[in-house]
Amino acid sequence: MSFAQAILEALESLNGNKLRSALTVLGIVIGVAAVIAMLAVGNGAQASITGSISSIGTNLLFVFSGAPSNDGPPGSNRRSGNNDRPLTLGDAEALKDQFAAPSVEMVAPTIQGNALLTFSSEQTTTSISGVTPEYYPVRNLEMAEGEFINSEHILGRMSVVVLGPETAIDLFGHADGVVGEVIRIEGQPFRIIGVLVARGGGAFGSEDNAAYIPFTTAQARLIKRSARDEVDVIFVQAAAAESVPQAVDEISNIIRQRHRTPVGADDFTVFTQQDFLSIFSQITGVLTIFLGGIAGISLLVGGIGIMNIMLVSVTERTKEIGLRKVLGARKRDILLQFLTESSLLSLIGGIIGIIFGWVIARIVEQVATATGNTFVPIVGWDAVILSTGFSAAIGLFFGIYPASRAANLEPVEALRYE
């Protein structure tokens, strides 16, 4: 029996039991669709996160106090000993020395905290940062309206604030036309001087749900630290992307000398954009594999369904198998016939499942867009090929036993079967 004949006979057999074949295919369809959709969502989440981090620029560095831990992103879990010195404004000023750090272009020290913002009867709790004018170019921010904090605001310790668009919407219901309004931060009045362009999530959470005030104002009135000149993060912009490794060495040497710590016992951490990308790519990669693995279980269930149906088919067609053998059909012909049927069931289910998986991914995208989130699930060719190949392999694997059982039937016994 040729392969073409086996396919034709398999199609005739499946067509003779349309409802049973359709229900069997449905198990594979659900499994493949789940795998495609889950991998698309995982890949989309990874692309969204890495894109948000990359949008800040490839020459941005982050300096934190405390040695890093190995179980999470910087800034969330840091190991700090009793002898660790915090980062200070003096450290930030030292990094501006062009002789000691020629690869460093700009430095922006920051103190951070959370605060309650109120306007009329509306209120929201958001992250608040005390920043300097250098923060704007270092973080690659854009203004939707108004202006950012300048040196005059710093020197005068002025009560002014720049809002992220999400924070503005929470307080006013819209992000435009709010410049000049007065809100209260922890009960103290602040005048809005600008609203930022929406950027989405970042390495430290959503940058749209944030507020920025002059560093000196935050230092004196809102964010208290044990030392007056203490800072939480120092953002550093390297002269170019190529000079980032050299900038890391220069920053480390300067702070190491100021803190008088030996090499290998640093009480600070310097992170680059690539470090963040690696960490988040690793996290989202594990989540994608986890989601795909869960969805793959449904493919396994679909394969068991195929084996069950093929065993039923062997039992129903026992006389037919015996007649074929009497007329000269070889063992391998019977084996090929039933393997072709199981593989065809699985392959048809795989193709339909790919289409349904793509549709589900597009529905997720539409729902995300409708809720104001920019999220695009990515249906990659690797997921399509993996799902199709896996579904065909499942058809072969779970079809081997029924096909072998059919091929090993004795012709006389098969003909006598009732």
Provide the number of structural domains found in the chain: 2
Check residue 19 and give its pLDDT. Answer: 79
- Confidence bin at 50 (pLDDT 50/70/90): low
Whether residue 204 sits in one domain with residue 115 = yes
**Residue 326 pLDDT > 70, yes or no?**
no
- Give the count of alpha carbons within 13 A of 252, CB side only: 16
Q: CA 241: distance to chain centroid?
A: 24
Amino acid identity for residue 237 in this structure: Q
Last residue of one domain, picked from the residues 266, 290, 319: 266
347 forms beta bridges with none
Check residue 381 and give its pLDDT. Answer: 77
Q: How many residues does the chain have?
A: 418
Which is nearest to 148 in space by CA: 203, 214, 199? 214
Burial (CB < 10 A; 0-12, 13-18, 19+), residue 108, is buried
Backbone angles phi, psi at 244, to 5 degrees: -60, -50
**Is residue 271 domain-resident?**
no
Residue 14's domain comprises 3-53+279-416
Per-residue pLDDT tens digits for 376-412:
777 777 777 777 777 777 767 777 776 676 667 666 5
Check residue 56 and give its pLDDT. Answer: 57
Check residue 155 and give its pLDDT. Answer: 92
Last residue of one domain, picked from the residues 207, 237, 266: 266
Whether residue 193 sits in one domain with residue 244 = yes
- Please indicate whether residue 161 or residue 275 has the higher confidence score (pLDDT): 161
**Residue 205 pLDDT > 60, yes or no?**
no
Residues 6+ apart with CB under 8 A from 69: 77, 78, 79
- Confidence bin at 45 (pLDDT 50/70/90): confident
- Confidence bin at 77 (pLDDT 50/70/90): very low
Lowest mean pLDDT of 37-51, 62-76, 124-138, 289-303, name the range: 62-76
**Is residue 64 domain-resident?**
no
Whether residue 379 sits in one domain with residue 289 = yes
Burial (CB < 10 A; 0-12, 13-18, 19+), residue 82, is exposed
Whether residue 107 sits in one domain with residue 255 = yes
Q: Are 280 and 73 in contact (CB under 8 A)?
A: yes
Whether residue 114 sits in one domain with residue 253 = yes
- Confidence bin at 31 (pLDDT 50/70/90): confident
Q: CA 343, CA 192: separation in Å to the nearest integer?
A: 66
**Residue 340 pLDDT > 90, yes or no?**
no
Residue % of the chain over a pLDDT of 70:
75
**Is residue 367 domain-resident?**
yes
**Is residue 74 domain-resident?**
no
Q: Which segment, 19-28, 42-51, 55-64, 148-157, is predicted with the most confidence on average? A: 148-157
Whether residue 151 sits in one domain with residue 286 = no
Check residue 195 and give its pLDDT. Answer: 92
Lookup result for tokens 């809100």: 183
**Residue 30 pLDDT > 90, yes or no?**
no
**Residue 219 pLDDT > 80, yes or no?**
yes
- Confidence bin at 76 (pLDDT 50/70/90): very low
Last residue of one domain, picked from the residues 233, 266, 299: 266
Lookup result for tokens 């694997």: 397
Check residue 346 and give its pLDDT. Answer: 79
**Is residue 157 domain-resident?**
yes
Q: CA 286, CA 291: separation in Å to the nearest integer?
A: 9
Q: Are 151 and 135 in contact (CB under 8 A)?
A: no
Radius of gyration of the chain (CA): 32
Check residue 52 and give its pLDDT. Answer: 62
Cα separations in angstroms, 296 against 299, 383, 388? 5, 12, 12
Per-residue pLDDT tens digits for 287-321:
777 776 776 777 777 777 777 777 777 666 666 66
Check residue 80 and give its pLDDT. Answer: 44
**Is residue 58 domain-resident?**
no
Whether residue 385 sits in one domain with residue 329 = yes
Cα separations in angstroms, 128 against 137, 157, 199, 209, 212? 18, 16, 17, 9, 6
Whether residue 332 sits in one domain with residue 222 = no
Whether residue 392 sits in one domain with residue 292 = yes
Check residue 238 and give its pLDDT. Answer: 85
Q: Which segment, 143-147, 235-239, 329-333, 353-357, is predicted with the most confidence on average? A: 143-147
Which is nearest to 98 in space by CA: 275, 254, 274? 254
**Is residue 361 domain-resident?**
yes
Whether residue 198 sits in one domain with residue 116 = yes
**Is residue 153 domain-resident?**
yes
Check residue 104 and give its pLDDT. Answer: 86
Whether residue 312 sits in one domain with residue 199 = no
Check residue 191 and give its pLDDT. Answer: 94
Check residue 121 and give its pLDDT. Answer: 86
Whether residue 204 sits in one domain with residue 353 = no
**Residue 9 pLDDT > 90, yes or no?**
no
Per-residue pLDDT tens digits for 158-201:
999 999 998 999 899 888 888 999 999 988 999 999 999 887 65
